[in-house]
Amino acid sequence: MAHRISLPRICIALGFPDAETLLAQARKEYDAGERFFEFRLDYLPTPEQGIAAIRKFLSRHADCTILATCRRHQNHGRYNGSVEEQVRILEAAIEAGARAVDIEIESAENCAERLQSLRSNAYVLLSYHNYGGTPPLDPLMRRMSRIPADGYKVVTTARKPSDNSRVLSLARSYPRSPMVLLAMGEMGFPTRVLSTALGGMYTYAAPTAAEGTASGQVSARQLRHLYRVEKFTRDAHIFGVIADPVRHSISPAVHNRAFQARRADAVYLPFLVKPVQLKDFLILAEKLPLSGFSVTLPHKQKILRYLDLIDPLARRIGAVNTVWRKAGKWRGTNTDVEGITVPLQKRVRIPKASVLLVGNGGAARGAAFALTAAGAKLSITGRNMDRVRALAKACDSEPLSREQAEARMFDVLIHATPLGMFPRVDQCFFDRRIPANLVFDMVYNPLETLLARRAKAQGAEVIPGLEMFLEQAVRQFEVWTGESAPRAVMEKAAIEALTPVAAAGA
């Protein structure tokens, strides 16, 4: 039986169609400080090329751990040989210096005796992959545990948020079994960050300059420096943002940097939550458990029905962007209000100012109620006039069609729709003149929108959306932690996340 080996927390998954590229990428990751690599032998024209690559790489980098995998085509790999041939390749990989091998449960069930022979010379990881969803896991674990192995890997596909907690909970349910636990896909991304803190042996990362071998993999640089997977503990406070889409949110970059600046044992994650999955997300939030989360498109209004306590202003607005747990209850507030009023107060006297608000969603509602409460003379326009009229009636303001709005001139224009947001950066609500002297665009990605450029071209002053984002994020941090927010650190992180050059290197 193989000796227990200590594995680093991050394994770089390397799957390439030729051995030269495989070695080149492994060397790049080695130079970046990585020491644990999965060589996917089944990606190569012949696995034997991978055997030679293992030997060559370890001859110069003996301080590394190589995990050899040769997954069969029947199990979503690329190797078309028999199980007997697969085992022979893994034996050769061990002879070449691989300290660990990964073999699928489907193959292992057909070569149990050979598997124990492998264990005498290397760490054997028994793996299960499901690319369709997350099945009942207890029957799966009973099936896998019938075959002795040094570790067990369960990788499913997350189809709903609670699949994440189901997969991660296996470490708690089977504490004596060393496990690798992950859910694939964007919805399963939280498992890639949380698994090692919650009992998993390690997580997988994509190489920095190439794609990974599974959906949802990100680079080790992101896992180490943005999410700090090696720093936070099992007792860490977990926060996040729920959205659809969520991939391009800069909130993880900003809040994780803030936690780091305050030396907090905390992590902030992106949670992809479809409109029909809010209830299921709350199951995940209870199970992990989450300490709090940001709420953005399209959930700011619907989240109210799942909260225990909502502050009065957020209740009047009918939208929440900040949720936290206290005394076992979910509480909600709306920090978008500060995100609107604080930047505006620096430039204009809000009482009596004429303001045109574009939009009728959650962010627009927060702006509408904040401005009317501050005494502004508010008019509202948007693409859906029925919703515009409903919002105008709710906050005692004036509804206008786009044509009516363009024919007027206002002290302030506040844009609160997704138009112009990445990736649809060529969109703008106004086709011609921008009807205001001061334009506040809530869109912050990109840093400068088409609306902002057009406003500047006609001589208007512009408040970029980043100011609103930072103000509401600062308030969120303070609600969650009770500490003052590191504003300068958060602003620097936001700008870096929104700068293409910085994003390309992240």
Residue 283 and residue 161: Cα distance in Å, rounded? 8
What is the average per-residue pLDDT within 459-473? Answer: 97
Please report whether residue 339 resides in a domain. no
Residue 242 has pLDDT above 60, yes or no: yes
Query: Residues 456, 482: one domain?
Result: no
Each residue of 37-74: pLDDT tens digit? 999 999 999 999 999 999 999 999 999 999 999 999 99
Residue with tokens 């608000």: 357
Each residue of 7-23: pLDDT tens digit? 999 999 999 999 999 99
Query: Residues 279, 378: one domain?
Result: no
Report H helices in 305-448. Answer: 312-317, 336-345, 362-373, 385-394, 402-406
Each residue of 305-334: pLDDT tens digit? 999 999 999 999 999 999 999 999 999 999
- How many structural domains compose the chain? 3
Is 410 strand, coil or helix? strand
- Does 160 qualify as catalytic in the annotation? no
Q: What percent of the chain is predicted at pLDDT more than 70?
A: 98
Residue 272 and residue 188: Cα distance in Å, rounded? 8
Q: What kind and span of H or E run contains 254?
A: helix 251-261
The rounded Cα 142 to chain-centroid distance in angstroms is: 31
Query: Residues 380, 277: one domain?
Result: no
45: burial class by Cβ within 10 Å (0-12, 13-18, 19+)? exposed
Task: List the domain range (segments joined by +) for residue 324.
Answer: 238-334+470-494
pLDDT of res. 506? 30
Please report whether residue 502 resides in a domain. no
Residue whose C-alpha is closest to residue 135's, from 125, 144, 126, 123: 144
Each residue of 392-416: pLDDT tens digit? 999 999 999 999 999 999 999 999 9
Query: Residues 312, 355: one domain?
Result: no
pLDDT of res. 504? 34
272 φ, ψ (degrees, to nearest 5) = -75, 120
Query: Residues 188, 266: one domain?
Result: no
Residue whose C-alpha is closest to residue 348's, from 278, 412, 406: 412
Question: How many other C-beta atoms are found inside a 10 Å radius of the C-beta of residue 33?
Answer: 9
**Bridging pattern class, strands 65-69 and 436-441:** unpaired
Domain boundary residue among 231, 252, 267? 231
Each residue of 254-299: pLDDT tens digit? 999 999 999 999 999 999 999 999 999 999 999 999 999 999 989 9
Q: What is the mean pLDDT of the chain?
A: 95
What is the average per-residue pLDDT within 196-214? Answer: 92
Catalytic: which of 160, 274, 279, 300?
300
Domain boundary residue among 185, 215, 231? 231
In this prediction, residue 215 has a pLDDT band, given cuts at 50, 70 and 90, of: confident
In this prediction, residue 4 has a pLDDT band, given cuts at 50, 70 and 90, of: low
Each residue of 118-135: pLDDT tens digit? 999 999 999 999 999 999
Q: Is the dihedral of CA 126, 130, 133, 138 positive or negative?
A: negative
pLDDT of res. 423? 86
Tokens of 434: 């921008």
Query: Residues 96, 146: one domain?
Result: yes
Residue 471 has pLDDT above 80, yes or no: yes
**Bridging pattern class, strands 398-399 and 377-381:** parallel
In this prediction, residue 500 has a pLDDT band, given cuts at 50, 70 and 90, of: low
